[in-house]
A and B are shown apart, each in its own frame.
Chain A
Amino acid sequence: MTGLHGSVVTQSAIIRVCHYNIPINIRSAVPAAHAHITLHHLEARLLDNAQEQFTSGGASGATSQTSDVDRSGTPRFSPQDRQARREQYAEELRQLLDDSAILSTDEQLIPYESDGLTAMRATPLLVVLPETTEQVQAILRWARSRQVPVVARGAGTGLSGGALPHEDGIILGLAKFNQILSLDAEHGVARVQPGVRNLAISDAARPHNLYYAPDPSSQIACSIGGNVAENSGGVHCLKYGLTVHNILEVKVVTIDGDLVTIGSAALDSAGYDLLALLTGSEGMLAVTVEITVKLLPVPEVARLIMAAFDTVEEAGEAVGAVIAEGVIPAGLELMDGPAIEAAEAFAQCGYPTNVAALLLCELDGMEAEVDAQIQQVTRVFERCGAASQHIATSEAERLQLWKGRKSAFPAVGRLSPDYYCIDGTIPRRHLPTVLRRMDTLSDEYGLRIANVFHAGDGNLHPLILFDANIPGELERTEELGSRILQLCVEVGGTVTGEHGVGMEKINEMCVQFDPATLTQFHAVKAAFDPQGLLNPGKAVPTLQRCAEFGAMHVHKGQLPHPNLERF
C-alpha cells in the first residue's frame, strides 16, 4: 500500500463540502468520484496502525472492548453493535454534558469525518463539544474508564489527517473554547483558549501595535490549539520561529483528567521542557485547553523584493547568497515556472511570466536597517544573475505580490482537475539535485509537478497535478508522492516540515526513523498515555506496520549494507 501525501482538490469536492456547511479549507477537498477508492486504502491504513497500537499499548488496561480487533481494515463492530455503543456512550456522557453538546446523528457527524485532508474519512461514534475545562477533564476520565479512543480537534484545517476520527472513538471538539481570556499589551502576552483562530489573536493585538508571529497560510481559519498540536510555522518562521518559539505556557488535561500547567510566564520552568515536547505532539500526549502566547511589536516597516531568474538553480543559489551576506529576511519564498504561471493567472498580482523561478524576499525592522538591507539584497540578486527585480512601491503592492504566493495552491488547482500537496524539508544546498530527480520522477510517472518552496528554511511543497477521473492516476500520484518524500529523507531532510505526520505520512516515518527510535517515541507516548487512548494510530507507526510497508530506514543517503546488490 502506498501513501497519500497531501491535500487533494477538486471543484466537485468543494461543492460537496459546502453542502455540509463545513468551514472550508480551500486547499483540500476530496475527489468525490473517487472517494471510495481512497477511503478503502485509508481506512485500512488507519485501522492497521490504530488497532495495533490500541491493543499492544493498552495490554494491561485493555478490556473486552479491544479484544476482538480485526487488522484487515474492516470495522470492528457490526453496524448494530456500533449503534448500541453510540447510544450507550451518549447516555453516559449526558451525565457530564448538555444534550446539545453531544452529536450522534449521521447529519451531525458527517462534518467531522475528516480534517483538511478530506481524502481520509472515518465516522466517529460521537462528537462531544465541551465548554469548560472541567467538562474536558470529566470526558477524559470517562474515556479512560471506558477505554474509548479520543481524538481532539480544533478548526479541522490540518493537512495530514491528524484529526481524522477513530471509528470506535469520540471526537473531542474544542470549537467552543473560542475566547481570548486576556491580552496584556504592556507585558506582550495573551492568554487564549485553543479554539481561537490564529489570525484573531493578531487582530486583537493590532490596536496595541503588537502581533502573534507564526502565520500558517490557513491562519484565517486554523485554531491556535491546532497550531500547538502541529507546531505550525508560516512564511515568516525563518526569522520569527515556529509555534514552539512563540508560546510561553499551555494548560493541558491528561488522559487521567488531571489539569497540568506546562511552562510559565517565565522563559523557562522547573523540570523537563515538556512545553517543547508537547508542541507538535499531534494530540497524542494530552489535550490543550489554554495557551499563553507571546506578542511581538509590529516591525516599523516591511518591504518586499521580487526577483526573477532564468533557472531555478540560480534562484536557489541566490537564497544561499543572501544568507551568506548576513541578512535574515522575514520571508523568502521561491516559485518555479508552473507555479508562477498558475498564480499570475489566478491572482493577476503582477508576476512576470516566462521566467523559470521567482523569489519573494521580505525584509522588516527599523526603517534605516531595512533600507540598507534592500540595497544589499538587490546587489546580491544582481550578482546571482537575476533577470529582473522589482521592489514593491506601496503597501498595497506588497500585499498584492504576497497574495499571488499565498494563493498558489488553489491557483495550481486550476491547471489540473486535482493535485496533491507534499510537505518535505531538505537542506537547501540539495535543491538542484532534488529538483532534477523530481523531474525524472515526473517523467517516469507521467505527472506534472509545480513547486512552491519556503526557500529560507528548506521547506518544499511540490504539487503533483493529476486527474482522479483517470483510472489508476490517483494511485500513481500517491506512489510518486511517497518517492518524493523518501528522496527528501535521502538528502538529509524530513518527510514533514510543517503539516504533521497525522495519518497520511505514517508509512514514510518508517523511512526516516529506525525501529529503536520509533520504539522510544512509543515509550514517550506511553509515559503520558499508557493505554494509548489519545489519538491512537497517528504520528508514529508501529514496527509491524513498517515491516509491512517494507521501506528501509535510510540515514543520510547511506543504505544499510551498501555492499549488497539491490534489484
Chain B
Amino acid sequence: MDTDDFIKDCQAQVTSAAQHKETLCIVGNNTKAFLAPPSAAQTLSLSAYAGIVSYEPTELVVTAKAGTTIAALTQALSEQGQMMPFEPPTFAEQDTLGGVIACGLSGPRRPYTGSARDFVLGTSVINGQGEHLRFGGEVMKNVAGYDVSRLQTGARGTLGVILDISMKVLPRPETETTLVFEQETPNDLAPQIKLARQPLPVSASVVIDKQRFVRLSGSQASVDASVQRLGGQVLHDDAAFWQSIKNLTHPFFAASDGDANSLWRISIADYAPALPLVGQWCLDWGGAQRWLITDEAPTAVFAACAAAGASATCYRHSDPAAQRYQPLDDTLLSLNRAVRQSFDPHGVFNPDHFHTETRA
C-alpha cells in the first residue's frame, strides 16, 4: 500500500470509530504493551508504515514514518556519524520510532543533551476526527502555531495517531569513556550534584549496586582531560553497560519480574533527598530519574512522590489493573482533559492508556 492510501485508510478507521462510538488502540510493533493495561479496543497498526522519508545529515534533521524501527534509524544515522541525542530506550528489537515518541522515552543521555520532546521538530498526525494535520516542520527554529509536536511526545497516543516525525539529530561524539566509583550509600546524591555543576562533557551518570558510573563523551582531548580531573576506574565494554541501563536489561531490573515486586520510574529533582519508600533503588539521570523495585502499594508510591514534587509511573506490576500514572491535581486534570478532548472529542484513542479520566 502506498503512503497516501495507508493514511487514507487510517483516517477512515478513525472516522468510522468516531461515528460508531468505538475505540482504537494505536500500536506499532507492540513491544511496549507492558507499559499499559490490556485493552479490548480495536487495533490501529502502524507497523507497515515504516521508512525514512528524508534525511539531510548536514541539516541535522531526519524525518521518518512512525513504524520505522529504532534499530533501522540508528543504523542510518550511524552511517553518517550521527545519532538520536536522547538515546531512545528499546525493549525489543522491533521497537518503533512512533512508540518511543508517543511514550516520550529518553535514555541516560537525557539530562545532558535533552529529551525526546526536546528533539522533536515536527509531526504529522491524524486527530480524533480523522483529519490529517501537520505541526511544526523540518527546521530547528519555528514558532509558527502552538508546539503540538512536542505536546504529542509522551502523550501515549491519546492526542492522535502520529504518522511522521521530524527530529533534530546530532553528531556522535568522537569518543566515550566510562568511569566507575565505589559508592557505599546508594542514595547519596552529593557526588552527582557536584559533577553536574562543572563544565565537563558528562553524558550519563547512574548509581546502581553501590557503584557510580559516569560517562564522558566528546573529543578525545576533552574526554582525556576530564578523566584526568575526575579519577576513578575506567570501565571496559561500557557500551553494553549503558545499553543495559537504557533498556532495563541490567540484572537489577530482573528483581521486578513476575513476583510481588513492582517496578516504578520516578521523575524527581536530581537534588531531592531520598523518598521514604522501601525497596531497591537505581539512580539514573544524575539522580533525576530513579528506578524503584518495591512491594509498596501504588497509593503509597504516589503519595510519597506528590509530597516531594515528583511523579511516578508504574512500569511493571503483578496486578495489570494497578493505577500506573501519578494522579493529577484538579486544575491540572481539567486542563489535561480539555486538551485531550480538543484533539479527540469522541474519545477514540487509547482508552486504557495515560490518565484515563481525561478521556471524552
Binds B, one of A169-177, A238-246, A474-482: A238-246
A539-562 contact mask (Cβ, 8 Å, vs B): 1 or 0: 110000000000000010000000
A24 to B325, CA, bound (A): 48
A482-493 contact mask (Cβ, 8 Å, vs B): 1 or 0: 000000000011
A326 to B175, CA, bound (A): 12
Q: B285 contacts which of A267, A372, A524 (Cβ < 8 Å)?
A: A267
Task: Find out whether the CB atom of A428 lies under 8 angstroms from the CB atom of B58.
Answer: yes
Q: Is A513 an interface residue (CB 8 A)?
A: yes
Q: Is B201 an interface residue (CB 8 A)?
A: yes
Given contacts A369-B201, A369-B221, A427-B59, contact A267 B267 (CB under 8 A): yes
Q: Is B144 an interface residue (CB 8 A)?
A: yes
Q: A458 contacts which of B59, B135, B174, B267 (Cβ < 8 Å)?
A: B59
Task: Find out whether the CB atom of A268 lies under 8 angstroms from the CB atom of B339.
Answer: no
A180-217 contact mask (Cβ, 8 Å, vs B): 1 or 0: 00000111100000000000000000000010000000
B121-140 contact mask (Cβ, 8 Å, vs A): 1 or 0: 00000010001111101111
A320 to B56, CA, bound (A): 10
Q: Name, among A324, A497, A520, A523, the residue most crowded by chain B CB atoms within 10 Å (CB to CB).
A: A520
Q: Is A271 an interface residue (CB 8 A)?
A: yes
Q: B59 contacts which of A261, A428, A454 (Cβ < 8 Å)?
A: A428
A413 smallest CB distance to B (angstroms): 24
Task: Find out whether the CB atom of B139 lies under 8 angstroms from the CB atom of A427.
Answer: yes
B117 smallest CB distance to A (angstroms): 6
A426 to B111, CA, bound (A): 29
Task: Find out whether the CB atom of A327 lies under 8 angstroms from the CB atom of B267.
Answer: no
Q: A366 contacts which of B196, B199, B338, B355 (Cβ < 8 Å)?
A: B199
Task: Find out whether the CB atom of B339 lies under 8 angstroms from the CB atom of A276.
Answer: no
Task: Find out whether the CB atom of A520 lies under 8 angstroms from the CB atom of B325.
Answer: no
Q: Is B332 an interface residue (CB 8 A)?
A: yes
Residues of chain B lying within 8 A (CB to CB) of residue A516 = 131-133
A357 to B113, CA, bound (A): 32
Q: State which size class the interface on B falls in.
A: 35 or more
Task: Find out whether the CB atom of B104 lies under 8 angstroms from the CB atom of A273.
Answer: yes
Given contacts A320-B58, A427-B56, contact A513 B150 (CB under 8 A): no
Residues of chain A lying within 8 A (CB to CB) of residue B172 = 326
Q: Is A567 an interface residue (CB 8 A)?
A: no
- List residues 122-157 of chain A with CB under 8 A from any CB of chain B: none
Task: Find out whether the CB atom of A368 lies under 8 angstroms from the CB atom of B219.
Answer: yes
Task: Find out whether the CB atom of A276 lies under 8 angstroms from the CB atom of B143.
Answer: no
Q: Is A168 an interface residue (CB 8 A)?
A: no
Given contacts A187-B269, A267-B288, A324-B58, contact A496 B142 (CB under 8 A): yes
Residues of chain B lying within 8 A (CB to CB) of residue A501 = 143-145
- List residues 197-222 of chain B with CB under 8 A from any CB of chain A: 197-201, 218-222
Q: Is B280 an interface residue (CB 8 A)?
A: no
A273 to B342, CA, bound (A): 15
Residues of chain B lying within 8 A (CB to CB) of residue A555 = 134
Q: B148 contacts which of A185, A270, A524 (Cβ < 8 Å)?
A: A524
Q: Is B153 an interface residue (CB 8 A)?
A: yes
A273 to B267, CA, bound (A): 14
Q: Is B77 an interface residue (CB 8 A)?
A: no
Q: Is A59 an interface residue (CB 8 A)?
A: no
A237 to B127, CA, bound (A): 31
Q: State which size class the interface on A falls in.
A: 35 or more
Task: Find out whether the CB atom of B147 lies under 8 angstroms from the CB atom of A244.
Answer: yes
Given contacts A369-B221, A372-B221, contact A266 B268 (CB under 8 A): yes
A70 to B193, CA, bound (A): 59
Q: Nearest chain-A residue to B225 (Cβ)?
A: A368
Q: Nearest chain-B residue to A373 (Cβ)?
A: B219
Given contacts A321-B58, A498-B143, contact A492 B137 (CB under 8 A): yes
Residues of chain B lying within 8 A (CB to CB) of residue A520 = 127, 131, 133, 148, 342-343
Given contacts A267-B285, A369-B201, A429-B58, contact A273 B150 (CB under 8 A): yes
A495 to B137, CA, bound (A): 11
Binds B, one of A26-34, A47-55, A296-304, A336-344: A296-304
A519 to B332, CA, bound (A): 24
Q: Is A118 an interface residue (CB 8 A)?
A: no
Task: Find out whether the CB atom of B199 lies under 8 angstroms from the CB atom of A327.
Answer: no
A320 to B328, CA, bound (A): 45
Task: Find out whether the CB atom of B141 lies under 8 angstroms from the CB atom of A527.
Answer: no
Q: Is A514 an interface residue (CB 8 A)?
A: yes
A209 smallest CB distance to B (angstroms): 8
A390 to B285, CA, bound (A): 40
Residues of chain B lying within 8 A (CB to CB) of residue A261 = 332
Residues of chain B lying within 8 A (CB to CB) of residue A86 = none
A509-550 contact mask (Cβ, 8 Å, vs B): 1 or 0: 100111011011101111110000000000110000000000
Task: Find out whether the CB atom of B144 lies under 8 angstroms from the CB atom of A509.
Answer: yes
- List residues 216-248 of chain B with CB under 8 A from any CB of chain A: 218-222, 224-226
Residues of chain A lying within 8 A (CB to CB) of residue B61 = 427
- List residues 265-312 of chain B with CB under 8 A from any CB of chain A: 267-272, 285, 288-289, 309-311
Given contacts A326-B174, A366-B225, contact A267 B141 (CB under 8 A): no
- List residues 251-310 of chain A with CB under 8 A from any CB of chain B: 254, 258-262, 264-274, 276-277, 279-281, 284-285, 297-300
Task: Find out whether the CB atom of A371 lies under 8 angstroms from the CB atom of B221.
Answer: yes
Q: Name, among B56, B139, B151, B201, the residue most crowded by chain A CB atoms within 10 Å (CB to CB).
A: B139
Q: Is B51 an interface residue (CB 8 A)?
A: no
Q: Is B38 an interface residue (CB 8 A)?
A: no
Task: Find out whether the CB atom of A372 lies under 8 angstroms from the CB atom of B143.
Answer: no
A238 to B176, CA, bound (A): 22
A6 smallest CB distance to B (angstroms): 14
Q: Nearest chain-A residue to B140 (Cβ)?
A: A457
Q: Is B159 an interface residue (CB 8 A)?
A: yes
B82 smallest CB distance to A (angstroms): 8
Task: Find out whether the CB atom of A540 lies under 8 angstroms from the CB atom of B145.
Answer: yes
Given contacts A321-B58, A369-B219, contact A264 B104 (CB under 8 A): no
Q: Nearest chain-B residue to A300 (Cβ)?
A: B199
Residues of chain B lying within 8 A (CB to CB) of residue A457 = 139-141
A163 smallest CB distance to B (angstroms): 15
Residues of chain B lying within 8 A (CB to CB) of residue A238 = 140
- List residues 325-350 of chain B with CB under 8 A from any CB of chain A: 325-328, 331-333, 335-336, 338-343
Q: Is A116 an interface residue (CB 8 A)?
A: no
Task: Find out whether the CB atom of B331 lies under 8 angstroms from the CB atom of A497.
Answer: no
Task: Find out whether the CB atom of B171 lies under 8 angstroms from the CB atom of A327.
Answer: yes
Task: Find out whether the CB atom of B143 lies under 8 angstroms from the CB atom of A500.
Answer: yes
Residues of chain B lying within 8 A (CB to CB) of residue A73 = none
Q: Nearest chain-A residue to B266 (Cβ)?
A: A266
Task: Find out whether the CB atom of B331 lies under 8 angstroms from the CB atom of A260.
Answer: yes
**What are some 20 contacts across the A-B interface (CB < 8 A)?**
A210-B197, A238-B140, A245-B114, A261-B332, A264-B309, A269-B267, A270-B311, A272-B340, A273-B104, A274-B332, A274-B336, A276-B150, A280-B147, A366-B201, A426-B139, A428-B59, A457-B141, A517-B134, A517-B145, A528-B335
Additional 9 contacts, C-beta under 8 A, given A241-B118, A298-B199, A366-B200: A186-B197, A260-B331, A271-B336, A280-B143, A327-B171, A328-B170, A366-B199, A509-B144, A517-B133
Q: Which 6 A-B pairs have the closest CB atoms?
A: A369-B222, A276-B150, A368-B221, A326-B171, A320-B58, A265-B269
User: Which residues of B pack against A, CB within 8 Å?
Assistant: 56-61, 81, 104, 110-111, 114-115, 117-118, 127, 131-135, 137-148, 150-151, 153-155, 159, 170-172, 174, 193, 196-201, 218-222, 224-226, 267-272, 285, 288-289, 309-311, 325-328, 331-333, 335-336, 338-343, 355
